[in-house]
Structure 1
């Protein structure tokens, strides 16, 4: 299984249109694997756009 750290250092994106007021709004559930994805980390977003991906193993 691929670990999040295997994808390299975090790639922080910038938000357009102001900051989110609720932490939950930074996440969505991937339709392919069902894993929660942090939209603020471009590595996660790109990984979950792959059509044949598996869930990422979270680093401890």
Structure 2
């Protein structure tokens, strides 16, 4: 009989709250890797984008 192993990936951020939400996004920063759900993936993307983008003041003064 053939067997198949199914691995479930859960969101690391949701797991800290005791929730089991499917991880759909992987965030990798150097050697660290995090599995995130869509909501947390979007939240971290927006925070990183804001932190790394040039500030509005610098853009207006150019």
Which TM bucket (shorter chain)?
under 0.3
**Which has the larger share of helix?**
2
By relative contact order (CA 8 Å, sep 6+), the higher-ranking structure is 1
**TM-score between both structures, scaled by the size of structure 2:** 0.24
**TM-score between both structures, scaled by the size of structure 1:** 0.25
Instruction: Look at both structures and tell me which one has the larger radius of gyration over its CA atoms.
Output: 2
